Amino acid sequence: MGFTVDIDTGGTFTDGFITCGDDLRTVKTPTTPHDLTVCFMECIKEAAKAFGLPLADFLYDTQIIRFSNTIGTNSIIQRDGPKIGLLVSAGHEELAPTQDPDGKKPLIPPDMLASIHEETFESGRVHKTPDAASVLEAAQGLIDRGARCLVVALNHADVNPTNERMVRETIKREYPRYYLGSVPVFLSSDIIQRSGYRERLNTAVLNAYIHGKLTRLLYKAEEDLRRHHYRGQLFIGHNNGAVARVAKTRAINTYNSGPAAGLLGAGEIGALYGARCVLSGDMGGTSFDIGHVIEQEPSYALRPDVEGFQCNLPMLAIRALGAGGGSIAEVKDGVLHVGPQSAGALPGPACFSLGGKRATVTDANLVLGWLDPDYFLGGAKKLNLEKAREAIESDVSKPLGISVEEAAWLVKEKVEENVGVELKKMRAAMGPHPDPMLVVYGGAGPLHSCEIARHADVSTLVVTPFSAVFSAYSSSLMDVGHLYYRRLDMELHADADMGILHKVIDELRSRALQDMRGEGFEADSIVWMFELIVCTAEGAEIKLGAPCDFHKSPEAISLVLQRAATMLSVSPDTPIVLSTLGVFGKASVPHYRPQEIALAKSHVDAARSGSRAVYQGREHGVTDIPVYNRERMGNGHKVIGPVIVESRQTTMVIPAGWHVRVDGFNNALIERSAQ
CATH number at residue 84: 3.40.50
> For 458-499, how does the pLDDT look when each residue is reduced to its tens digit (9 = 90+)?
999 999 999 999 999 999 999 999 999 999 999 888 777 788
Distance of alpha carbon 498 from alpha carbon 24, whole angstroms: 49
pLDDT surpasses 70 at 675: no
- In this structure, of 319-328, 388-397, 488-497, 601-610, the range with the lowest mean pLDDT score is 488-497
Residue type for position 610:
G
Residues 181 and 231 placed together within one structural domain of the fold: no
Residue 379 has a pLDDT of 78
On whether residue 592 sits in a domain, the answer given is: no
pLDDT surpasses 80 at 276: yes
Read off the pLDDT band of 58 (50, 70, 90). very high
> b/e for 27-65, b at 16 or more Cβ within 10 A?
bbbbbbbeebbbbbbbbbbbbbeeeeeebeebbbbbbbb
**What is the distance, to the nearest Å, from the Cα of residue 96 to the centroid of all Cα atoms in its chain?**
26
Residue 287 contacts residue 321 (beta carbons within 8 Å) = yes
Residue 128 has a pLDDT of 97
Q: Which of 453, 423, 479 is nearest to 292 (CA)?
A: 423
> b/e for 74-107, b at 16 or more Cβ within 10 A?
bbbeeeebbebbbbbbbeeeebbbbeeeeeeeeb
Terminal alpha carbon distance of the chain = 50
Distance of alpha carbon 350 from alpha carbon 32, whole angstroms: 18
Q: How many residues does the chain have?
A: 675
Residues 85 and 202 placed together within one structural domain of the fold: yes
- Kindly state the average pLDDT of the residues 351-364: 94
Residue 284 has a pLDDT of 83
What is the share, in percent, of the chain residues with pLDDT greater than 70?
Answer: 99
3-state secondary structure at position 410: helix
- Which range marks the domain in which residue 434 is found? 257-307+428-472
Residues 521 and 632 placed together within one structural domain of the fold: no
| Ramachandran area for residue 520 (φ above 0: left; ψ -120 to 50: alpha; else beta) | left
Residues 568 and 652 placed together within one structural domain of the fold: no
- Kindly state the average pLDDT of the residues 445-459: 94
Residues 197 and 227 placed together within one structural domain of the fold: no
Residue 74 has a pLDDT of 80
Residue 223 has a pLDDT of 95
On whether residue 594 sits in a domain, the answer given is: no
What's the number of domains the chain is made of? Answer: 6
- Please give the residue that has the higher pLDDT: either 555 or 633: 633
Residues 101 and 126 placed together within one structural domain of the fold: yes
Helix axes 385-392, 404-430, angle to 10 degrees: 80
Residue 180 has a pLDDT of 62
Distance of alpha carbon 165 from alpha carbon 169, whole angstroms: 6
Residues 34 and 53 placed together within one structural domain of the fold: yes
- Kindly state the average pLDDT of the residues 504-515: 92
Read off the pLDDT band of 21 (50, 70, 90). confident
Residue type for position 5:
V
Residue 186 has a pLDDT of 97
Residue 501 has a pLDDT of 86
Read off the pLDDT band of 553 (50, 70, 90). confident
Residue 289 contacts residue 259 (beta carbons within 8 Å) = yes
Residue 555 has a pLDDT of 79
Residue 476 contacts residue 268 (beta carbons within 8 Å) = no
Peptide bond before 97: cis, by omega within 30 degrees of 0? no
- Kindly state the average pLDDT of the residues 650-672: 95
Q: For the residues of 519-533, what is the DSSP string, one character each?
A: TT--GGG-EEEEEEE
CATH number at residue 539: 3.30.1490
Backbone angles phi, psi at 183, to 5 degrees: -120, 140
Residues 299 and 437 placed together within one structural domain of the fold: yes
Q: Which of 537, 561, 587 is the last residue of a domain?
A: 587
Residues 122 and 238 placed together within one structural domain of the fold: no
On whether residue 312 sits in a domain, the answer given is: no
Residues 485 and 574 placed together within one structural domain of the fold: yes
Distance of alpha carbon 391 from alpha carbon 376, whole angstroms: 19
pLDDT surpasses 90 at 590: no
Q: Which of 454, 446, 460, 447 is nearest to 423 (CA)?
A: 454
On whether residue 419 sits in a domain, the answer given is: no
On whether residue 667 sits in a domain, the answer given is: yes
On whether residue 423 sits in a domain, the answer given is: no
- The CB-based long-range contact list for 426-435 (8 Å cut-off, 24+ gap) reads 426/279, 426/290, 426/292, 426/319, 427/279, 427/456, 427/457, 430/277, 430/292, 430/294, 433/276, 433/277, 433/294, 434/275, 434/276, 434/277, 435/277, 435/459, 435/460
Q: Longest C-alpha distance within the chain, in Å? A: 82
- Kindly state the average pLDDT of the residues 365-375: 93
SS (H, E, C) 43-57: HHHHHHHHCCCCHHH
User: Facing residues of 575 across strands?
Assistant: none
Residue 18 has a pLDDT of 97
Mean pLDDT of the chain: 92
Q: Beta strand pairing status for 23-30 and 13-20?
A: antiparallel
Residues 358 and 491 placed together within one structural domain of the fold: no
Residue 429 has a pLDDT of 86
- Kindly state the average pLDDT of the residues 614-639: 93
Quick one: which H or E segment has residue 227?
Answer: helix 197-227
Residue 31 contacts residue 14 (beta carbons within 8 Å) = yes
3-state secondary structure at position 229: coil
- Please give the residue that has the higher pLDDT: either 314 or 11: 314
CATH number at residue 57: 3.30.420.40
Residue 25 has a pLDDT of 93
| DSSP code at position 147 | -
Distance of alpha carbon 409 from alpha carbon 621, whole angstroms: 10
On whether residue 319 sits in a domain, the answer given is: no
Residues 505 and 563 placed together within one structural domain of the fold: yes
On whether residue 421 sits in a domain, the answer given is: no
Read off the pLDDT band of 532 (50, 70, 90). very high
The pTM for the full model equals 0.89
Helix axes 197-227, 71-78, angle to 10 degrees: 130
